[in-house]
Each structure stands twice: as structure tokens, then as C-alpha cells.
Amino acid sequence: MAERSRGPGRRRIAALAAVALLAPSAAACGSDDGGVPVINVYYSTEQSFQKLVDECNQQAQGRYRMVYQVLPRAADEQRVQMVRRLAAQDSGMDVLGLDVTWTAEFASAKWIREWTGQNKEEASRGTLEQPLASATYEDKLYAAPKNTNTQLLWYRTDLVPNPPKTWDEMIKMSQDLKSQGKPYEIDTMGAQYEGLVVLYNNMVASSGGKILNDDGTKAEFDQGAVDALGTLQKFASAGVTNPSFTNTQEDAARLQFQGGSGAFQLNYPFVWPALQEGAPDLKDKVKWARYPGIDANTPSKVTIGGFNLAVSAYSKHPDEAFQAALCLRSPEHQLFSAVNDGVPPTIESLYDDPQLDEAYPFKADILAQIKDGANRPVTPAYQNLSTVLSATLSPPADIRPEQDADALRGSIQDALESKGVLP
Amino acid sequence: MTAETATEKPTTHSVRAQRKAKARISEGKRQERKLGWLLCAPAAFVMIAVTAYPILYSVWLSFQRFDLKFPDQREFIGLGNYATVLTNEYWWTAFGITTLITVVTVAVELVLGMALAWIMFRTLVGRGLVRTAALIPYGIVTVVAAFSWKFAWTPDTGYLGNLFGEGAPLTERASSLAIIMLAEIWKTTPFMALLLMAGLALVPEDLLKAASMDGATGWQRFTKVMLPVMKPAILVALLFRTLDAFRVFDNIYVLTGGANNTSSVSMLAYNNLIRGLNLGIGSTMSVLIFIAVAIIAFIFVKLFGTAAPGSDEGGRR
């Protein structure tokens, strides 16, 4: 095999091979042009986000230049892309658009920087309490809330004169409609993914229950959480869901309702503009109300969604990155996003702005729900928790409250400690 | 290989008596072989760099408790992860599902692929058109195809959703699995057919004619003449597809996302490794999948003996 005379040739080949292997990674490193630091913003798809970026770049007057890197649409894919690169200490990401549930995880893994001093003050000024809590981990601020979100109850006024206040009421109404042969479905997300966890969390919070203890270190699963399992099971087996319920995500739920088979829909406000465009015959028959609760006399507590902006620990230009993030979530820009992209702002005073009236006729209900809202459990292991929960809850019709709660106490504790296998 | 050439000389006669194929290797041939090795060396080197290193690294990771979310808690725990995974219910459910999908799809694909190969081979009119049409499913990106299957099987948006009465087929375990297998079979039967067609081309026409002169029926010609001659091609096709099917991921990812206990082992490894960031457990699963695949390959080579690819006679002529 080893022949001396062919040594140089082989070495050349090896060198070529090495070059070929290294070349792509060399080309992938971005370069800063002309001394202006380039800030790469990784954010999910939002239609008018590019305009925000352009405007902030103008306002920056050469202090930085932001580049909008579009993340995939699905939350899981967004997280996977960022996490994979952060784990490899990729310095090509500066500002990260984090779903509210990821803050603890990213902070605990030391992937994002703490917000301090002037930046912290600016990020929290006038910001609603619950969204701010979603950006906080161990009493430190790790991100600036950019937009919040919450689901409302959308219902057909021609079928339902008065919106239901509780799940029981809504299920009853739906069954009555069904027996009259009218559209009756309650369309919402029931696939085995985060959406199902949100549905369950709404029920847990509304019945005053807890999944984890306050520190997020132990699986609690109190009576409220067990009752919520019962409510979810009852809803799923009452014959009021769409046949595809257990495979339905946000957009599919919207389509089911828009298709005319639903009397109720529990979904985010993005369904409103889509309804205006996609179903002209329905748009005047649909109204909104507060998400149903468990008890008629206690207002529901509904899960808060939305996005926070964080600065990567591996960013080469952290100061500019903080500035850029603050610009993207400044009051005027939040208002712009609310009007153009329909995402609810995190700054309370913006809800009084008349500009919101047309795009957001339901703004008062949103604000009320957010002020009263329920964050999902805060723990670095949230993704594990969510995976275990959604797997156990799916399909919801087969839930056995007592047994499942027992099993979940064990498997969630394992998940929190990153022991055991995720389904 | 070198051991072989050394032992060959003294027993040339007996070897020749036993196996005609193995002639003594001449000096020129030996040189040729050496050159062959030298020419492959760079490729082999690169292959080792890009495959051996990651494999060894994941074996190393599988011996550790290592979760990216808790970077401070990293420690060496020996076979602890293996104990966790191998005593876990999710793992064995996924293993069963994967085995089921592998066995059913490969079996069905072999039969359908053979038929398709026969059609592609025998078509006289529009041969190019027939072959192209048959290969279209294999040319479509799996994820794209999976999405169209998903929409097709969803009531309201699809034309297959209400095929079996009310309800949504992708929300129940048995029907979901059937749809996953259907999508797999639809997708890879052309691949099977392509490999089998190469085998069909090996069957000499005279042999078939001679057989029919002797009064063999069509079925007899197929089982007694064609199948034995095609054996190496069938083996290659089966081996490739089995290894491929055992790693099934994209169809399940799109069609059900693993809901209703339809996860395969690859899905499970992805969930733990990429989503859960648990490098220890995730790597353990990857290593176990690797071992399973290696065992499958080993069984194929052993079971089918000399005709298998990689064994002496089949590999070298």
C-alpha cells in the first residue's frame, strides 16, 4: 500500500481533500462591510418585519446594519435551528426571536445575555407584567417582549345568541346544535404538539391548578390539574370536535371553522383577517368573546404566547444587538406590527391608540385576557415537559384523569431532571 | 485479501478443482490490484474522516449524562443510558412499529417491484415513457409527497379523507400506520423495480427458451430459472430497502408527527437528540439504531451466503 515514490502525489490529494472539506465553512462566515457591524436577526416569518428592520437601520445611522434572517414557520423548527447553532457556539446569530416558553432554557444553557442597566429599563418600561415575566428567569431579565398573544373564543352569531362562559356550557350548546342538525363543531388545536399543551394549560389555569411548583423544579399536579384532565377528556369525547381534532394545528382549525362546519373556534387573532378575506359569507356572522373558563363565576385564565427578543451570548456585537432589539420592539414599531401583522403589543398604553381600532376590534378582550393571563410553567426543561405532556394527553378522548396524573407526576419529574426518554 | 494470495500458491490444484472461478493471480494482476487500492485510498480516507469520527464520537457521547440545557451536569455514567433506553416503553413501542413498517413495506415492495420491473423490462411500445412514468414517485421529494398524502387523507381538504366513511384516518393508530406504509411503498417501489430490472437483464434469453423447450410453464421458468439467476440483484435490492426502511423518518414526521404511538426509532432519536437536546440519551438511541442496522446487514450476508454483495464470489469476479 504505502509506496514512497507516490508520497508527494498522495499528499497533494490529501491537501486538496482537506481544502474541499474546509472551504464551505470558510465561505459561510459572514463578513462585516465597511466597519458597520452587521447584526443578524433570526426571527420567524412575519410579513412586514422586513420594513421594521429597514426603518431601524435608517434610524441607526450607520451604528449597525440589521439583516433579517427568516426562521421557519413552525415553532419547533425555529427552536431546533437556533439551538443547534448555539450549541456549536455560532457567532453568526445576534438577535434571536424566542417563543415565550424558551427563555428559561436558553438562559440556563447560557446561550443568551442578561439585560441590565439602561437596556433593561427601556425594555421593561410600560411593558405588561405577564409578557415581562415570560422573559424573566431566576429574577433576571433575559429578553425584551416584542409581542404577546392569546386565544379568543370566536363564535357564529347566527347559531349562538350569547357566547358561553364555561366549557360545560359550550359543550352543551354544541351538542344541542348537533341534535338540531346545524353546524356545531368546536374547532381548536388537538394534535400531539404544543397546541394541545396550551389547551390543557388553559383548563388547568382556569380551574386554579398547577402543573409544576412555583420554582419550576417539581411536578405538582394538584387537584386543579387533575380536574382539567377530566375537562379535556370530556370535551374530546363529547362528539363536538371536528373529526380531525387529534391531528389539528392552528391553521387547520381556522380552515375547519372557515369551511362552515364549526359553531365555535378557539384560536389566535390571526383568524380574523383571514376570515375577512377567505369567507365573505361568514365574516358578518362571526363575533368574539373571552375564552371559556371552568367556573361561571370565575373569569378564565388563558395561556399567553408571543415572542421575546434576546441577544446571543456568542454575538460579536452585543451592544449594537441590544440597541437593534430595542428598536424592533419600540412602542411605535410594536404599533406598526400590530396594525400590519396583527400581533398584539406588549406595551399597555398602545391598546388605547385609535390606530388599533380597525385592525383590532377585539383589542379590549385581548388586553383583559393578557392582564389576567397564565404563563406556561417556567423551567429550562420546558421542551421536555411539553413533549411528555402532549404525548400523554394525546389522544385526549382516552385520558383517564387519575391514572394519567399519577403517571405524569413521575414522567414530568424525570423530564425536568432530563432523565428518561422523551416520547 | 493479502492472506488469500499467500495461501493460494501451494494448493492451486485443489482450489481449481473446487472452484473454477479462482484462477492463480498473475504478477500483472497483482499490480493492477495494488493500483486499484491506491486509487481508492483518498476516497477511503475521506470516508473514514467523515463517518468513523462522528460514529465514535456518538458512542463516546452515549456513555455520558449530557444535556445541553444543563451544561454543568455533564458526567460519565458508563452504560447507564443504555439501561434507561432499553428498559423504556417508548423505545420498544417505536422499535416494534419500525420493525412492522420495515417487514411489511419491504415484502410488498418486493412483489410489486418485481411486477413493475417486469413491465418496464418487457414493454415494447413507449418504453422510455413507461419507465419514466414508473419512476416519478421516486423522483418526488419525500416530504412533498408526504404532505400531499396528508392533505389527501384529511377530511375537508382531501379526496381520500372520507373513503372509509366518517372520521379522519390520520387520527387513529391502525389507519395512520397503514397510510404511512402506503406512502412508503408508493414512494420506493420504483427504486426496488429499478434494481430488480438490472437483475432481469442478467437472465439470458436462451436459458428461458431452453426451459420452455423442455416444457417448463411460465411459473416454473420464473421460479426455477429467473429467480436463481437474479438472486444477487434481489439481495442487493432487499438489503438496501431493508436498511432504508428501518430508518424511516420523513413520512412519519409529516403524516402524524408520531401521534397515536406511530413513532419510529429514528423519530424517537430525533425527539431526544435534536428537540430534547439530550445528547446522552439521543446518542444512545443512534448507536442502538446503528447496531440494529449492522445486525440486519450481517443477517442478510450470512443468510444468503455467497450470493450476497460483499461476500467473496459476489463481490469479485
In 3D space, the residue among A398, A354, A401 whose CA is nearest the CA of residue B173 turns out to be: A398
The predicted structure's pLDDT at residue A34: 60
Strands (E), A81-135: 95-99
Could you tell me which residue, A177 or B17, shows the higher pLDDT? A177
Which amino acid is located at A47 in the chain?
Q
Q: For residue B211, tell me if it sits in a domain.
A: no
B7: in domain: no
**Model confidence at B5: pLDDT above 50:** no
Closest of B186, B201, B198 to residue B236, by C-alpha: B198
Closest Cβ–Cβ partner in A76, A108, A255 for B70: A108
- Minimal CA separation from A53 to chain B, in Å: 29
Question: Over chain B, what is the mean pLDDT?
Answer: 85
Rounded to the nearest 10 degrees, the angle between the axes of helix A382-393 and helix A194-206 is 90
Q: Which backbone phi and psi does A23 adopt, to 5 degrees?
A: -50, -50
Look at B171 and A245 and tell me if their CB atoms are within 8 Å. Answer: yes
Strands B64-65 and B75-76, sheet pairing: antiparallel
**Dihedral, A381, A386, A392, A398 alpha carbons, nearest 10:** 160
Which cell is B113 given? 417491484
pLDDT classification of B305: cutoffs 50, 70, 90: low
Q: Which residues of A touch B46 (CB under 8 A)?
A: 17, 21
Report the candidate in A365, A248, A311 with the shortest Cα–Cα distance to residue A120.
A311
The CA-based diameter of chain B, rounded to the nearest angstrom, is 78
Give the pLDDT score at A235. 97
**From the candidate CATH numbers 3.40.50.970, 1.10.10.2120, 3.40.640.10, 3.40.190.10, the one assigned to the domain spanning A152-303+381-416:** 3.40.190.10
Residues of chain B with Cβ-Cβ distance to A87 below 8 Å are 68, 277
Scan residues 272-301 of B and list those with Cβ closer than 8 Å to A: 272, 274-278, 281
Nearest CA distance, A394 vs chain B (angstrom): 7
Q: Is the pLDDT of residue A314 over 60?
A: yes
Confidence band of A87 (pLDDT split at 50, 70, 90): confident
Q: Check A243 against B256: CB less than 8 A apart.
A: no
Given CB atoms, is B49 within the 8 Å cutoff of chain A?
yes
Chain A 27-86, residues with CB within 8 Å of chain B CB atoms? 76, 79-80, 83-84
pTM summary value:
0.78
| Contacts A395 to B, Cβ<8 Å | 171, 259-260
B70-82 pLDDT, tens per residue? 878 889 999 999 9
The CA radius of gyration of chain A, in Å to the nearest whole number, is 24
For residue B55, give every residue at least 6 positions away whose Cβ sits within 8 Å of its Cβ, in sequence order, or none.
B290
Q: Domain for residue B221, yes or no?
A: no
Contact A278/A251 with Cβ under 8 angstroms?
Answer: no
> Which of B166, B167, B276 has the CB atom closest to A387's CB atom?
B276
Q: Given this model, what pLDDT does residue B303 score?
A: 78
Please check whether residue B4 lies inside any domain of the structure: no
Omega into A395 within 30° of 0, i.e. cis?
yes
Distances, alpha carbon A263 to alpha carbons A187, A254, B156, in Å: 8, 12, 16
Chain A contacts of B171, Cβ < 8 Å? 243-247, 395
Instruction: Compute the nearest-CA separation of A313 from chain B (Å).
Output: 14
Search chain B and give the residue with CA nearest A256.
B156
Q: Please give the CATH superfamily to which domain A38-149+304-371 belongs.
A: Periplasmic binding protein-like II (3.40.190.10)
| A137 touches B: beta carbon within 8 Å | no
Give the model confidence (pLDDT) of B220-268 as tens digits. 998 888 988 888 889 889 999 999 999 999 999 999 888 788 999 999 9
CATH of the domain at B97: 1.10.3720.10
Chain B CB within 8 Å of residue A422 CB? yes
pLDDT band at residue B309 using 50, 70 and 90 as cut-offs: low
| Closest C-alpha to B145, from B39, B2, B253 | B253
Check CB contact under 8 Å for B268 and A423: yes
**pLDDT of B149-162, one tens digit each?**
998 998 877 888 77
Which pLDDT belongs to residue A24?
43
For the four alpha carbons of A118, A122, A128 and A131, in that order, the dihedral sign comes to: negative
Sequence ranges of chain A with CATH classification 3.40.190.10: 38-149+304-371, 152-303+381-416
Half-sphere exposure of residue A55: CA atoms within 13 angstroms, side-chain side: 16
Mutate to test the interface with A, among B160, B275, B279, B284 (most CBs of A within 10 A): B275
Q: What is the maximum span of chain A, computed from C-alpha positions, in angstroms? A: 92
Report, in angstroms and rounded to the nearest whole number, the Rg of chain B calculated over CA atoms.
Answer: 24
CB contact under 8 Å between A191 and B259, yes or no, is yes
Q: What is the mean pLDDT of residues B119-145?
A: 89
Where in the sequence is the domain holding B301, given as residue range(s)? 80-197+230-315
Q: Is B41 on the interface with A (CB under 8 A)?
A: yes
In this predicted structure, the answer to whether residue B6 has a pLDDT above a threshold of 60 is no
Percent of chain B topping pLDDT 70: 87
Buried b / exposed e over A397-420, threshold 16 CB at 10 Å, is: bebebeebbeebeebbbbbbebbb
Instruction: Report phi then psi at B261, rounded to 5.
Output: 55, 50
Contact B260 A395 (CB under 8 A): yes
Q: Residues for chain A: how many in total? A: 423
**pLDDT category, B24, cuts 50, 70, 90?**
low
pLDDT band at B270 (very low <50, low <70, confident <90, very high): very high
pLDDT for A118: 95
Query: What would the pLDDT profile of A125-155 be if each residue is shown by its tens digit?
Result: 999 999 999 999 999 999 999 999 999 999 9
What average pLDDT is seen over chain A?
89
Q: Is B170 on the interface with A (CB under 8 A)?
A: yes
Residue B237 inside a domain? The answer is: yes
The pLDDT tens digits of the residues spanning A349-363 come to 999 999 888 888 999
Residue B307: partners with Cβ closer than 8 Å, 6 or more residues away: B231, B232, B235, B313, B314
Whether A83 sits inside 8 A of B154 (CB atoms) is no
Residue B186 has pLDDT above 80, yes or no: yes
Task: Kindly state whether residue B181 falls inside one of the protein's structural domains.
Answer: yes
User: In total, how many domains does chain B have?
Assistant: 1
Q: What are phi and psi of A237, to 5 degrees?
A: -105, 10
